């Protein structure tokens, strides 16, 4: 097991290094000079002198060769400095620190919601295979995977916000400030963020459960005369849940991808919104560090998922 963990850890480090290289060199291809855009917003009238441009270029370290810029970025990262945003005039660390709790709040609630509901639906569909329950769950799972989340957001806003007036249509409030308002505000975004994961969970749980149910030990459990509840919950479900761990890894990726859209639809000042704004402002420092932090989270979560999967199911470890 230790060897397995070390191997996975080394692999994750290699992947993170490749990720930093991809991000750095892709971002450097951004059209336009970020300094000119920055100065364009600053200078209300008149043109900026070449000297000013050069001073700023040196200040941001943009005059150095590209490899030196990469190593400088890496060394700053190791010192906990994510760089200075050109658009927001703020340290990227601070920008992310302010917005991460919001995205995490929505993300964690969605992850819990989608897995609980998805797994329940999957179990129901499996134990009532072929009945209307199974058909409804299967159709819902198809819709969940194929519905555009931004459109679902708009449908919900129209129905529950504009027509019925039940829920606030936009914004975010910290639950520490006003718990009730915060909860009402996150209902629709959480629904949108969890729909994809929920559908995936339901589908996976259904097939995992069907596979488990056909195992010999389940037949033994029935033959022993156990009640349905004992067979389903104690014998079948426990074992079917193991592959569900991988859903957490998939879910984290879905949530960060979805937050880009959902935070735009619901005007939520989270990391996803920050990334979109920075892209349009061509603020490459924010995009660079923001993307790195997001992908590091995804890679690390997947590492933990892989290790726990290997720990729970030895067939994976030695396979």
Would you tell me which residues interact with another protein (CB under 8 A)? 11, 14-16, 18-19, 22, 26-27, 29-31, 142-143, 145-151, 154-155, 157-158, 162, 207, 211, 253-254, 256-258, 260-261, 264-265, 275-276, 279-280, 282, 287, 291, 294-295, 298-299, 302
Backbone angle region of 118, left / alpha / beta, with phi > 0 → left and psi within -120 to 50 → alpha: alpha
The minimum distance between CB 109 and another protein, in angstroms, equals 18
Shorter beta-carbon distance to another protein: residue 70 or 222 = 70
**Residue located via tokens 């302010």:** 98
Shorter beta-carbon distance to another protein: residue 221 or 271 = 271
The minimum distance between CB 228 and another protein, in angstroms, equals 25
Least Cα distance to 201 among 127, 123, 272, 147 occurs for 123
The minimum distance between CB 139 and another protein, in angstroms, equals 9
**Residue located via tokens 């459990």:** 221
The minimum distance between CB 44 and another protein, in angstroms, equals 26
Shorter beta-carbon distance to another protein: residue 258 or 310 = 258
Within 13 A of 58's CA, how many CA atoms are on the CB side? 5
Helix, strand or coil for residue 91?
strand
Shorter beta-carbon distance to another protein: residue 46 or 165 = 165
The minimum distance between CB 49 and another protein, in angstroms, equals 28
Distance CA 128, CA 58 (A): 68
Helix, strand or coil for residue 49?
coil
Shorter beta-carbon distance to another protein: residue 102 or 221 = 102
The minimum distance between CB 229 and another protein, in angstroms, equals 27
Distance CA 147, CA 156 (A): 13
Please classify residue 179 by burial: count the beta carbons closer than 10 Å to its beta carbon, then call 0-12 exposed, 13-18 middle and 19+ buried.
exposed
Distance CA 310, CA 284 (A): 38
Shorter beta-carbon distance to another protein: residue 221 or 293 = 293
Are 206 and 302 within 8 A, CB to CB? no
The minimum distance between CB 32 and another protein, in angstroms, equals 9
Could you tell me how far CA 169 lies from the centroid of its own chain?
22
The minimum distance between CB 298 and another protein, in angstroms, equals 5
Dihedral of CA 123/244/140/168: which sign? Answer: positive
Shorter beta-carbon distance to another protein: residue 11 or 36 = 11
**Residue located via tokens 């679902």:** 152
Shorter beta-carbon distance to another protein: residue 127 or 156 = 156
Shorter beta-carbon distance to another protein: residue 221 or 275 = 275
The minimum distance between CB 128 and another protein, in angstroms, equals 19
Least Cα distance to 129 among 246, 232, 239 occurs for 232
Residue 184 tokens, joined: 């009402």
91: β partners:
84
Distance CA 258, CA 273 (A): 11
């Amino acid at each position: 097991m230790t060897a397995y963990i070390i191997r996975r850890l080394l692999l994750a480090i290699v992947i993170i290094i490749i990720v930093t290289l991809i991000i750095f060199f892709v971002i450097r291809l951004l059209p336009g000079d970020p300094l000119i855009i920055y100065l364009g917003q600053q200078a209300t009238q008149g043109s900026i002198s070449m000297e000013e441009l050069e001073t700023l270029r040196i200040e941001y370290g943009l005059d150095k060769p590209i490899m030196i810029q990469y190593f400088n970025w890496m060394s700053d990262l190791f010192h906990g400095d994510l760089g200075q945003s050109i658009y927001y005039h703020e340290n990227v660390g601070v920008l992310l620190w302010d917005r991460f709790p919001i995205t995490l709040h929505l993300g964690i609630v969605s992850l819990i919601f989608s897995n609980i509901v998805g797994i329940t639906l999957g179990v129901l569909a499996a134990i009532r295979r072929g009945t209307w329950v199974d058909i409804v769950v299967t159709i819902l799972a198809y819709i969940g995977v194929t519905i555009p989340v931004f459109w679902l957001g708009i449908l919900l806003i129209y129905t529950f916000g504009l027509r019925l007036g039940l829920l606030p249509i936009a914004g975010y409030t910290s639950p520490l400030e006003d718990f009730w308002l915060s909860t009402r505000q996150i209902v629709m975004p959480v629904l949108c963020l969890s729909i994809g994961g929920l559908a995936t969970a339901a589908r996976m749980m259904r097939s995992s459960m069907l596979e488990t149910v056909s195992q010999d030990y389940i037949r033994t459990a029935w033959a022993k005369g156990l009640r349905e509840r004992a067979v389903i919950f104690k014998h079948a479900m426990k074992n079917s849940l193991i592959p569900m761990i991988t859903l957490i890894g998939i879910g984290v990726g879905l949530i960060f991808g979805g937050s880009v859209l959902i935070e735009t639809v619901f005007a939520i000042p989270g990391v996803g919104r920050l990334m979109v704004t920075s892209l349009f402002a061509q603020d490459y420092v924010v995009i660079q560090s923001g993307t790195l932090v997001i992908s590091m989270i995804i890679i690390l979560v997947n590492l933990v998922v892989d290790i726990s999967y290997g720990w729970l199911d030895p067939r994976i470890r030695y396979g």
